[in-house]
């Protein structure tokens, strides 16, 4: 048996909807299926406004533009994240300032943010790693006191709920979701920017439509449209929106199936945590998870390597997670040294993301668990 790290889930309606989108001969962005996705997402999660984008990366870029980031501005974010979080900022001429993370969640450590704030800081950009909501309460409190905006890189956290019981993305000015095939809900390549500030919505339409005021023509306000701003083609084809809609309809089923996997992982790894061999995620007790991912932090990077290679021998894929941004080529060019964020560096050297996809609950979970159990026994004894 072979257990991939990831595999897209099909709910059964993707084909039908996709073909209807094709036959409609309206294949570009913001047509029937896009509008249906937007309405459903707003209804399900209480978002202000939703802009479907070609990727989570594009959603981050659109958000960074919308927030008005400019040359020389600074944005505080974890170093333990994907390159897109930083590039969204770099592309505006702004500078990522990297913050340490907490081992309980691998999310930004809110108690280490304030020391990084300078006169140039404009934004805090946390991520919801593994679908675990970042500590938005503390982060928004800091942002409020220093007059900063907050955008959440919520690439992994669609349908998780934060400490206030609010859906991720609904409780912050800007949030960016990904619908890449590796996420809980996917349409190949896709994303969404959530805009909860109503005074930013008109300009968001301009940015999405290549910096034109086409939206005002569609709304009947103007008779011809033209170039009013920077912007890009932040649009998702209606063919992909049709696929996404089929996934959105089944979000509860997807989250429930993944919960089976996470519960089984938690059961297997908890005794090893109690014995001091490794750590597993400890999200705050008052959040609700979308069960996107599960990570294990081993006691040593040697044990991590042994675990990974012995799993691989059993055809079970696991993954090292992010290579921290501050200590890879581009971060070093910015002047960072690995030691500047010792906690991040250490955790990143010991963490593993386990295979997790929706169908694993139906097939392969037993084999994956047995394989892991055997490897762990070899590493730590029974």
* CB 174 to a second copy: min, Å: 18
- Residue 251's H or E segment, with its range, is helix 251-274
Residue 88 contacts residue 64 (beta carbons within 8 Å): yes
Task: Determine how many CB atoms are found less than 10 A away from the CB of residue 199.
Answer: 7
Q: Mark residues 10-29: x for contact with a second copy by CB under 8 A, - for none.
A: x---xx--xx--x--xxxxx
* Interface region with a second copy, contact rule CB under 8 A, candidates 41-49, 76-84, 99-107, 266-274: 76-84
Residue 281 binding a second copy, by CB under 8 A = no
| Helix/strand/coil for 41 | helix
Contact predicate 259/288, CB 8 Å: no
Binder among 44, 201, 216, 323 for a second copy (CB under 8 A) = 323
Taking contact as CB under 8 A, which single stretch among the options 126-134, 174-182, 256-264, 283-291 is the one that binds a second copy? Answer: 174-182
Check residue 189 for interaction with a second copy (CB under 8 A): yes
CB environment 359-374: b (16+ within 10 A), e (fewer): bbbeebbebbbebbee
CB of 226 to a second copy, least distance (A): 3
Residues 284-313 binding a second copy (CB under 8 A) are none
Check residue 56 for interaction with a second copy (CB under 8 A): yes
Under rule CB under 8 A, residue 328 binds a second copy: yes
CB-based burial of residue 174 (10 Å sphere; 0-12 exposed, 13-18 middle, 19+ buried)?
A: buried
Question: Quick check: 194 binds a second copy (CB under 8 A)?
Answer: no
Binding a second copy (rule: CB under 8 A), the pick from 49, 188, 305, 310 is 188
DSSP 3-state assignment of 34? Answer: helix
Considering the complex, state which of residue 100 and residue 213 has its C-beta at the smaller distance from a second copy: 213
Which residues, numbered 195-254, are part of the site for a second copy (CB under 8 A)?
210-213, 224-233, 235-240, 243
2 in contact with a second copy (CB under 8 A) = no
Torsion of CA 263, 266, 271, 272, to 10 degrees: 150
3-state secondary structure 64-119: HHHCCCCCCCEEEEECCCCHHHHHHHHCCCCEEEEECECCCCCCECHHHCHHHCCC
Choose which of 180, 215, 350, 353 interacts with a second copy (CB under 8 A): 180
Q: What pairing do the DSSP bridges indicate for beta strands 149-153 and 121-124?
A: parallel
| Between 38 and 289, CB nearer to a second copy | 38
Smallest separation, CB 149 to a second copy (Å): 20
Considering only CA atoms, which of 262, 275, 272, 259 is closest in space to residue 375?
A: 272
7 binding a second copy? (CB under 8 A): yes
Residue 298's H or E segment, with its range, is: strand 295-298
Closest to a second copy by CB, 4 vs 271, is: 4
Q: Does 325 bind a second copy (CB under 8 A)?
A: yes
Q: CA-to-CA distance for 352 and 350, rounded, in angstroms?
A: 7
C-alpha torsion 52→58→59→62, nearest 10: -110
Closest by Cα among 30, 44, 42, 60 to 193: 60
Looking at residues 331 to 370 of the shown chain, list those that interact with a second copy (rule: CB under 8 A): 331
Query: Is 153 a residue that touches a second copy (CB under 8 A)?
Result: no
CB of 342 to a second copy, least distance (A): 18
Measured from the CB atom, the residue of 319 and 367 that comes closer to a second copy is: 319
The residue ranges that bind a second copy (CB under 8 A) are: 7-8, 10, 14-15, 18-19, 22, 25-29, 54-58, 61, 71, 82-84, 86-87, 90-91, 93, 180-182, 186-190, 210-213, 224-233, 235-240, 243, 320, 323, 325, 328-331
């Amino acid at each position: 048996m072979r257990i991939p790290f990831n595999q897209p889930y099909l709910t059964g309606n993707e084909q039908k909807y996709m073909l209807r989108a094709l036959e409609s001969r309206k294949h570009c962005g913001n047509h029937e299926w896009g509008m249906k996705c937007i309405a459903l997402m707003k209804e399900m999660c209480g978002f202000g406004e939703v802009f479907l984008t070609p990727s989570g990366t594009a959603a981050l870029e659109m958000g960074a533009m919308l927030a008005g980031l400019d040359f020389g501005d600074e944005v505080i974010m974890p170093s333990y994240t994907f390159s897109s979080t930083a590039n969204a900022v770099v592309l505006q001429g702004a500078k990522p300032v990297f913050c340490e993370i907490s081992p309980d969640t691998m999310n930004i450590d809110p108690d280490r943010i304030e020391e990084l704030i300078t006169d140039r800081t404009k934004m805090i950009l946390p991520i919801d790693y593994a679908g675990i909501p970042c500590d938005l309460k503390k982060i928004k409190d800091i942002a409020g006191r220093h007059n900063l905006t907050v955008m959440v890189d919520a690439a992994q956290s669609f349908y998780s709920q934060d400490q206030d019981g609010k859906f991720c993305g609904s409780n912050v000015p800007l949030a960016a979701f990904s619908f890449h095939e590796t996420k809980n809900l996917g349409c190949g390549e896709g994303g969404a920017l959530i805009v909860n500030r109503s005074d930013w919505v008109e300009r968001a339409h301009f940015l999405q439509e290549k910096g034109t005021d086409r939206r005002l023509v569609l709304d009947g306000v103007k008779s011809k449209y033209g170039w009013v701003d920077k912007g890009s083609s932040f649009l998702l084809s209606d063919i992909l929106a049709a696929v996404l809609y089929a996934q959105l309809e089944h979000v509860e089923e997807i989250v429930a199936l993944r919960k089976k996997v996470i519960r089984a992982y938690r059961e297997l790894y908890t005794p090893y945590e109690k014995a001091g061999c490794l750590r597993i995620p400890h999200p705050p007790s008052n959040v609700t998870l979308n069960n996107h991912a599960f990570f294990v932090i081993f006691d040593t990077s040697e044990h991590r390597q042994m675990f990974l290679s012995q799993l691989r021998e059993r055809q079970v894929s696991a993954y090292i997670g992010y290579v921290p941004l501050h200590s890879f080529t581009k971060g070093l060019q910015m002047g960072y040294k690995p030691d500047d964020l010792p906690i991040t560096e250490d955790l990143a050297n010991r963490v593993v993301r386990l295979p997790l996809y929706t169908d694993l609950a139906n097939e392969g979970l037993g084999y994956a668990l047995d394989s892991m159990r055997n490897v762990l026994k070899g590493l730590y004894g029974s």
